[in-house]
Structure formats: C-alpha cells, structure tokens
Amino acid sequence: MERLPTWPPLRHDYPFDPSYGYDLAALQQVKPPPEPPGFAATWQQWYRAALAIDPRPQVIISGDQYPGFRVLDWSYTSTEGFPIRGWLLLPQQQAPTKALILGHGYGGLIQPEGPLPCPDALYAVPCFRGLGRSARPPISSEPRWHVLHNLDQPDRYILRGCVEDLWIATSALLILYPWLAGRIGYLGISFGGGVGALALAWEKRIARGHLNVPTFGHQPLRLTLPTAGSAASVQDFVRRHGRHLAVNLALYDAAVAARFIRQPMHLALALFDPMVPPPGQFAIYNALSGERRLFILRAGHFDYPERLEQERQLLAELQDFFRPLGE
C-alpha cells in the first residue's frame, strides 16, 4: 500500500466523531469477535439448501439504458419462493469475458448505476429482497426497518434471505451463461458489502470479490458505536427488547464470516464514516487469511474534496483486480 497523504480532519455536523478515535494503525489492529457456536455449520447448511433451489431465471429487453451496454430486465426465484428482480448488462461491442455481480447499498436501486470498472464484463444486478425492484410487503424498504425484519428469529432474519438472494443470483447467472463458470466476481458496497462477506465465505462459484465500506462487521462493536446509519435502529431495538438479540446478530457478523473467505479479495475501507463505523469495516479485512488488497478511502458515506479522484483510482485498481477472470 502506498504512503497515505496527510489529510486534515473533515468538518461535519454529527454529534459524534465518525473516525471514532481510530487512526489507520489502530484500525489495522481491530480483531473480529469470537466465532459463535455452530456458525460455520449453520451457514453451510443454508448454502447447501440454496443450491437446491431452481431459480427459473427470466430476461426481457429493458426500458432502462446504460452507455456501452445492452440492458435486460432480469428476474429469478429465491428461497421461500421470493421473487427477485434486477438487471443484466451485456457489453455491446464484444462477448463478455467474465461476469460481475453487483451488490447495492441500503438505498436500493431504481436503475443500474455505475461507473463500472470492466467494459468486457457482463454485469448482474439483483435487488435484494425487500429493496428496489424486489420490494414486497410486509418487508419495509426503509433501511431502519428493513434491518430489523425478523431479527428476533435468527433462522428467518432478513440478512439470511439477502445472502441467499446472492447465492441464487449466482445459480441463475450460470443457468443463463454456463460458459462463464469460474469467471464470476462480486462487487458489493455498504449493505451489499456486508452481504457479500457473509455470502462469499461459502460461495466458491464466485472467484474474486470486492467489498466497499462493508457493514455488519464486528456486531458487538456495531451495537455500541454511535452512528447515523441503520445500525442505530438495531441498537435501539436491542436496548428495548433485550440483549439476547445480540446472540442472534452474532450469527450475521461479516467479520466472523470473513475468516472463511478464501478467494482473492479487494476492500475499499474508510477512515471516517458516519454510517458504517470504520472499526467494523477493518474487522472484516483483518479477518481475511487469503490474498487481499486494501484501498484506503478518506471517507465513506460522506462527500470530501478528493472523492472523485479516489473513485477514479479505485476503478483502475478494480479493473486490474478482476482482469484474471477474463484470462
């Protein structure tokens, strides 16, 4: 990693410090929490069950557009018969050499967004259950409520379904494009980053992954650090309904899951983030034991003077990181 510039503190109006008093050296020392009993066995059982699902993927020409790509509306059936909708983006000028699945943030998506790092890739963009095109009652699409859905039922917590949506997106993609087996990568941001860590720990059909300011890392810390993000509603819910719910959350810790990731990983992590505390982000990276690359963002979920230049640098790194998928 190159030497970081000396950035002055960012000015903000939050009633707390979004760097949480951590510098880079301290962030690199944050360890994941202990693995709860039955963690790996439970997730492996859920993964095997998801592989048995027939996703019945469908595609039609979309009314949405994206420069340089042909856009298709994409749908498939996930666990519990949940209908998932999204988009497929196919490069217009060549046959795709690889496929990249995109995991969106908690704002959801109303259309495909970019920029996209690899012009030679097919992009699969599922909307996770309850969000964007996959919104469906009784799940709220509001992040502060979505993140609480079935939190009191660990086997049915909404994050399990979202992880299964990603696993089954992989199955649906391979039904449509079987020749891309072994050439699939994942890019997830914020909510999609945390879901990606939970999914890639068991999903070997995805060969490489990038997580950008991922959430759900180090749940014990997440329950204590002040935030303007969805974790605030989780903290309030646990305070009102009992600390026993922290046991349920431990099963959905992206930093614990990261211990089981073996694919090459690229993470973009922030030093300052009012929505996803940086110690939780770094707990995920620090748990990785395989090939890993780190890109330091001055801030996440917050605008800052160097943002556009950092995004340009990150895109260049991701194009290089995912290049082996097409070789």
DSSP 212-239: ES--S--HHHHTTS--SSTHHHHHHHHH
Average pLDDT, the chain: 95
Residue position matching structure tokens 């009102």 = 240
Task: From 116, 90, 125, select the one nearest 315 (Cα to Cα).
Answer: 116
CA distance readout (Å), 40 to 48, 133, 221, 288 = 12, 31, 21, 15
Q: For 134, which DSSP code?
A: G
Work out the percent of the chain whose per-residue pLDDT is above 90.
91
Q: Cα angle vertex 282, ends 24, 102, to 5°?
A: 125
CB-based burial of residue 4 (10 Å sphere; 0-12 exposed, 13-18 middle, 19+ buried)? exposed
Least confident of 1-10, 32-41, 194-203, 269-278: 1-10
What pLDDT does 117 receive? 94
CA dist 40 and 250 (Å) reads: 12
Whole-prediction pTM value?
A: 0.96
Q: What is the model's pLDDT at position 2?
A: 53
pLDDT at 81 (0 to 100)? 97
Tell me the per-residue pLDDT of 144-180, one tens digit each, with 9 for 90 and over: 999 999 999 999 999 999 999 999 999 999 999 999 9
Using one digit for the tens of pLDDT, what is the confidence trace for 39-88?
Answer: 999 999 999 999 999 999 999 999 999 999 999 999 999 999 999 999 99
β-bridge mates for residue 73, sequence order: 60, 87
Q: Does domain 24-321 have CATH number 3.40.50.1820?
A: yes
Domain assignments of the chain as residue spans, ordered by start: 24-321
